Copies of this chain bind each other. A is one copy, B any other.
Amino acid sequence: MIAQFSIVPLGVGVSVSDYVAKVIKIVDESGISYKLHAMGTILEGDWDEVMALIKRCRDALMEEVERVVIDIKIDDRKGAKGRIEAKVKSVEEKLGRTVKK
């Protein structure tokens, strides 16, 4: 499955990129297949692997802050793999041209 998530800490000021960096460090070092974009991070793996990683990110932030808001959006399709790239490519093929990505 693929899953996009974002974690926003409350009570730490207007800028939260220090905390996002901490989360991305954990994701990057985990070895999971991922992609960071401006509104979240996309992970690909099975349910337990993905959810354990998001939990580790949440635990790391909750050591430092009192409250977090987490969004997770999952697209789970039987047998499908390599979808972080494949879903975008499929749209480009339908359109017959490349798009901004």
Looking at the complex, which one of B24, B70, B85, B100 makes contact with A38 (CB distance below 8 Å)?
Answer: B85
The CA-CA distance from A8 to B11 in the complex, in Å, is 11
Q: Are B101 and A35 in contact (CB under 8 A)?
A: yes
Q: Are A10 and B17 in contact (CB under 8 A)?
A: no
Interface SS of chain A: mixed
Give the number of times this chain occurs in the complex, counting copies: 4
Q: Is the CB of A91 closer than 8 A to any CB of chain B? A: yes
Q: Are A42 and B39 in contact (CB under 8 A)?
A: yes
Name which of A36, A39, A84, A86 has the most chain B CB atoms within 10 A of its CB.
A39
Looking at the complex, which one of B21, B47, B75, B91 makes contact with A21 (CB distance below 8 Å)?
Answer: B91
Q: Are A95 and B21 in contact (CB under 8 A)?
A: yes
